[in-house]
Amino acid sequence: MRGSATEKLSVTKGRDGFGLMSSSTVVIANMIGTGVFTSLGFQLLDIQSGFVILMLWAVGGVVALCGALSYAELGAALPRSGGEFNFLSRIYHPGAGFVSGWVSSTIGFAAPTALVALTSGAYLSAALPFLPDAASKWVAAALVTGLAAVHSTHRNNSARVQNSFTVVKIVLIILFCAAGVFLSTAPNDIHFLPVSGDGGLLVSSAFAVSLIYVNYAYTGWNAVTYISGEVNNPQRTIPVALVLGTSVVALLYVALNFTFLHSAPISAMQGEIEIAYVSALHIFGAGGAVVIGVSLSILLISTVSSMTLAGPRVLQMIGEDFAIFRVLAKTNVHGVPATAIWVQAGISLVFIFTNSFESILVLAGFTLGLNTLFTVLGVFILRWREPDLERPYRISLFPLPPLIYLVITAWTLGFILLERPSEGLAGLGIVAAGTTFYLLSSAGRKRTE
């Protein structure tokens, strides 16, 4: 394992490593994806208060920032690619890292990649009514396949595609929010200042379950830690990229949800997936909404791209550390894990053609919450067990940020098990399956030795 870490870190000294801009855009693009453009419709089924909805997204931003600060310390101290696979292997046990990698490769990246690609296809289909109902899945499949082809070539190609589409994404969101504020008036059924009953909503089960959707929308704030070994000067770049990317996204999320609520009535958005398209209809009318729908479809390309870039590095690290998966560690002549990229793309295609949207969303949110919960807890364990470990970055206001993250995340996970037990138990089943697979592979390796 140490040898692999040394090899990966050597990449960051060359000209082909990812710099601060590319690292930050990986974070931003990973975060701004399916969740913020789809989850409001589900939240409005139980919460009809603009104030509480905006508080929901603000709390989610604080939680994500607390998580990002925690990962910044871990990423600077343990700068190897793989994200939670690297952290949990080092802090707890290789088995914990394997299970985390199992979760990341199946639910952490492949499932969200499928969700974002499906959303991109859904927006395009909604904007272009001449497309058949099944077109969204084929658009999603083409998007996943095309980006896998780009990212399996060279890091320079990855950086150009990632940076370009992320800049376009940010500009489109800012323009959309400005149009929503200046070209529409708030519907009569929404209020943005607290009224009687809002206090109870803030501590209700509806708020906790809705926070799972929000936390899922913020998923991706840890994305740059998956490519740590390929980042230039990771000890300095990773903390800045994590905090900068997460802060930018939190501001954009609150602005987007204000725009959605300000432009369309609650009744038009409840239970709907294409929230931004519904909002655009009320801002621009049918003609303008077509342009916005196509724009939103294009906007989501950067998210699929960033997940296709970051996720396969987990599979690559699994291949380096476990002989049975050695094929996943193979790289092309430019050091890019092309095999792992195509494997993740294949898993995403399975999700695209076999699963429903909301089930994937809740299942992914719960399982990823478990993954990050134990990683952030690892900050305390690593400080206690290895107090002399070099930490180029230390969490500001420690221990407050990781404690906030742990308490709120544990609270929401508990409510998911109570309110959505099928998805929660399915998530635990995925963890159990990963544990079983690790034990079997370890037993087989011992017999071989």
- pLDDT score of 7 more than 70: no
d(CA 362, CA 414): 13
Instruction: Express each pLDDT in 207-247 by its tens digit.
Output: 877 887 788 788 778 888 878 778 888 878 888 898 899 99
Q: Which is more confident, 289 or 148?
A: 148
pLDDT band at 447 (very low <50, low <70, confident <90, very high): very low
The predicted pLDDT at position 107 comes to 73
Instruction: Express each pLDDT in 103-142 by its tens digit.
Output: 877 777 888 788 888 888 887 887 777 777 678 888 899 9
Question: Average of pLDDT values for 5-32?
Answer: 65
The predicted pLDDT at position 400 comes to 95
- pLDDT score of 82 more than 70: yes
The predicted pLDDT at position 443 comes to 55
User: Residue 18: beta bridge partners?
Assistant: 231
- pLDDT score of 146 more than 90: yes
pLDDT band at 16 (very low <50, low <70, confident <90, very high): low
Chain centre distance of CA 418: 24
* Surface-to-core class of residue 233, CB atoms within 10 Å of its CB (0-12 exposed, 13-18 middle, 19+ buried): middle
Domains of the chain: 2-388+406-440 (1.20.1740.10)
Instruction: Express each pLDDT in 383-430 by its tens digit.
Output: 999 999 999 889 988 999 999 999 988 988 888 788 778 878 888 888
Mean pLDDT of the residues in the chain: 82
- What pTM was estimated for this model as a whole? 0.74
Contact 60, 218 (CB under 8 A): yes
* Per-residue CA distances from 225 to 2, 38, 65, 81 (Å): 17, 26, 15, 6
- pLDDT score of 40 more than 70: yes
- pLDDT score of 4 more than 60: no
* Nearest residue to 28 via CA among 281, 300, 256: 300
The two tokens of residue 424 are 């929660």
